Amino acid sequence: MIKGIVFDLDGVIVSTDRFHYEAWKAIADQEGIYFDEKINDRLRGVSRMASLDIILERASRQYDEEEKLALATKKNEIYRGLLSRLSPSDVEEADREALEELRSRGYKLAVGSSSKNTPLILEKIGLGSFFDAVADGNQITHSKPNPEVFLLAAKLIDIDPSEGAVVEDAEAGIDAAKAGGFLAVGIGGAASYYRADRKIASLVDLLSIFKPIEKE
């Protein structure tokens, strides 16, 4: 029986794709590297350094680790600046109500995101203190498809992975959920992924999957 639900953040609760794209595009343009939205799609659910490696595939020279770190740091500075545009209105009201309804039905709710900016994003969208637990890139060493962030979230809300569901928009996230032993729910780009156990169009659809938990 499912007792807790872990949500990826970006692309599931709120979309900051446009900010990631703008920030990475600024870095790529600075370095004279071709970058477009198709390449950007490959970065979904991928860590910052792994994303940079994907972008640098088209570079005309090799970058050492110090240079890579400097580029990744600058990208994050640009991205965090763009996040100032976020507000509670960036979360669909129906999605917010669905989250509140899931809580009222007895489910423990957590965020499991590889982003180190998770606390800032949650604060900006008015959900800074809503979730029972938050596991993010500041607390893990392995990014998705490694299940570490979801396993940590499950531990923080005191459930076994077999009692948890993960809601993800990226194939790497679905792979991580499956590797961790969770029920994998695909939304957005992951809704067409064959490995997803359940497929939804919006968070509201979760209400038809997760009925109220019967009290013992």
Average pLDDT over residues 40-69: 92
Average pLDDT over residues 185-197: 96
User: Contact at 8 Å (CB) between 154 and 4?
Assistant: yes
pLDDT attached to residue 7: 98
For the cut 70, the answer to whether the pLDDT of residue 21 exceeds it is yes
User: Contact at 8 Å (CB) between 143 and 114?
Assistant: yes
Based on the fold, state whether residues 44 and 103 are members of the same structural domain: no
What is the overall mean pLDDT for the chain? Answer: 95
The last residue of one of the domains, among 33, 55, 85, is 85
Domain containing 58: what range? 17-85
Average pLDDT over residues 8-30: 94
Q: What is the pTM of this model?
A: 0.88
The last residue of one of the domains, among 36, 52, 85, is 85
pLDDT attached to residue 47: 78
Q: Is residue 214 part of a domain?
A: no
Digit-coded pLDDT (tens) for 109-126? 999 998 889 999 999 999
Please confirm, yes or no, whether 8 is among the known catalytic residues.
yes
pLDDT attached to residue 212: 96
**What is the count of structural domains for the chain?**
2
The last residue of one of the domains, among 42, 69, 85, is 85
Residue by residue, DSSP assigns 135-169 as E-TTS-S--TTS-HHHHHHHHHTT--GGGEEEEES
**By mean pLDDT, which of 41-55, 81-95, 184-198 is the weakest?**
41-55
Based on the fold, state whether residues 185 and 197 are members of the same structural domain: yes
Based on the fold, state whether residues 77 and 148 are members of the same structural domain: no
For the cut 70, the answer to whether the pLDDT of residue 216 exceeds it is no
pLDDT attached to residue 35: 97
Q: Is residue 167 part of a domain?
A: yes
Q: Is residue 70 part of a domain?
A: yes
Please confirm, yes or no, whether 10 is among the known catalytic residues.
yes
CATH number of the domain where residue 105 is located: 3.40.50.1000
pLDDT attached to residue 115: 87
pLDDT attached to residue 214: 86
Pairing, β 108-112 against β 4-7? parallel
Average pLDDT over residues 20-28: 96
For the cut 80, the answer to whether the pLDDT of residue 177 exceeds it is yes
Q: Is residue 130 part of a domain?
A: yes
Q: Is residue 215 part of a domain?
A: no
Residues 137, 98, 1: CA angle, nearest 5 degrees: 75
pLDDT band at 179 (very low <50, low <70, confident <90, very high): very high
Distance, in Å, from the CA atom of 10 to the CA atom of 114, rounded to the nearest integer, reads 10
pLDDT band at 165 (very low <50, low <70, confident <90, very high): very high
Based on the fold, state whether residues 96 and 201 are members of the same structural domain: yes
